[in-house]
Amino acid sequence: MVRENLAYDFSRFEERKPSEHAVQLKLVEKKKNSNKAMAKSVWANLAVFAVIAAFVVGLLFSYMRSNELSSEIKAAERRNRELSAQNTLLQVEIDQTFSMKKVSELAESYGMVKAEKYQYKYFSVAEGDKVSAD
């Protein structure tokens, strides 16, 4: 029952019976190749799974390493702040130890007095690297 229409060809949608011989050939071919195709399919699936697993493991390893490095950086920054604070305290102690007021107090406690102007001796170094005392 073929209907003809000028606008559309409906013959494509009609049911056709394939010949039995063609169906048997296809089934025989599928049976012959099904084991090989199945083996190829299994290996392909395993390969894809291995690639995905390797990618996931690599990603997890990179996150883990990034976390470790972040922890080390934070510890180093904390240690740096501690050492900077300690350096500041030590610098204040050094400044206090060598302050002119403390030095003059210590000198007076040992009986030392300031030099008078006539006790100063000046040297001329205009001649180069030599120094002579009169």
pLDDT means per 10 residues, the chain with 134 residues, are 60 67 52 71 94 97 96 97 96 85 88 86 71 62
- Looking at the structure of the chain, the number of domains it has is 1
* Nearest to 11, CA basis, from 21, 2, 23: 2
Separation CA 113–CA 110 (nearest Å): 9
For residue 80, being part of any structural domain is answered with yes
For residue 3, being part of any structural domain is answered with no
pLDDT of the residue at 7 = 66
For residue 51, being part of any structural domain is answered with yes
pLDDT of the residue at 78 = 97
Separation CA 128–CA 125 (nearest Å): 6
Separation CA 89–CA 83 (nearest Å): 10
pLDDT of the residue at 72 = 96
For residue 79, being part of any structural domain is answered with yes
For residue 129, being part of any structural domain is answered with no
For residue 59, being part of any structural domain is answered with yes
pLDDT of the residue at 37 = 78
For residue 22, being part of any structural domain is answered with yes
For residue 42, being part of any structural domain is answered with yes
Separation CA 122–CA 120 (nearest Å): 7
Domain of residue 28: give its range: 18-119
Query: Per the confidence metrics, is the pTM higher than 0.75?
Result: no
